[in-house]
Homo-oligomer: A and B are copies of this chain.
Amino acid sequence: MKSTGSKHEQRSRATRAALVAAARPLFGERGYAGVGTEEIVRAAGVTRGALYHQFRDKTDLFDATVQAVEAEVTGLIAARVTATAADPVEALRAGARAFLDAFTEPDVERILLLDAPGVLGWRRWREIGQEYGLRLVTTSLTAAMTAEAAAARPVVPLAHVLLGALNEAALMVAHAEDPVAARVEMTEALDQLLDGLLVQG
């Protein structure tokens, strides 16, 4: 369990990690614009000088925070998908449910769905989502389609609209007056969407 790199690199990684760890709950609670850099560095136990040495600007720190959150939730979802890998169609449904659960967490929703597109721009947002989540969707979708012997269709645009539907469903559930009932509703709606894609030839 030896840390690698020179002492300078170790120190850099430590402060970067501390800043991201401190920024995540703050950004998740009050949004990107609602929390200043001073509060972040105080929570991280460093100064603003350290922040602006490690990150180009505030959005760069936010970018790193987004990546951290995305990596975390993708890991959770992937675990549930691979656990159901025996049945590809059911794995796809399980992935949708896991997605709903993960993105319904208030801080995840705020960071990944509400603030990230506006702050980082759609291009960068989608780039990160591509790196982490969309890959999982496309592979699951192709596996399910081949297993179901559905007509081979361009899978990438389908994956995109699916991801959009998933995002919207998560936002729906998160803000419903009755989240439990909403989760059931949206799960059914998503299942119908998936069935529609897989059933017809």
Number of copies: 2
Name the contact of A160 in the complex, choosing from B126, B158, B172, B197 (C-beta under 8 A). B172
Q: What band does the interface of chain A fall in when counting residues whose beta carbon is under 8 Å from B?
A: 35 or more
A residues near B (Cβ < 8 Å) are: 31-33, 109, 113-115, 117-119, 121-123, 126, 153-154, 157-158, 160-169, 171-172, 174-175, 182, 185-186, 188-190, 192-193, 195-197, 199-200
Q: Which B residues touch A168, using CB under 8 A?
A: 160-161, 163-165, 167
Determine the distance from Cα of A121 to Cα of B167 in the docked complex, in whole angstroms: 15
Q: Which B residues touch A165, using CB under 8 A?
A: 161-162, 164-165, 168
Secondary structure type dominating chain A contacts: helix
Determine the distance from Cα of A188 to Cα of B197 in the docked complex, in whole angstroms: 12
Chain B min CB distance to A28 (Å): 13
Chain B min CB distance to A18 (Å): 26
Candidate in A118, A157, A163, A182 with the most chain B CB atoms within 10 angstroms: A157
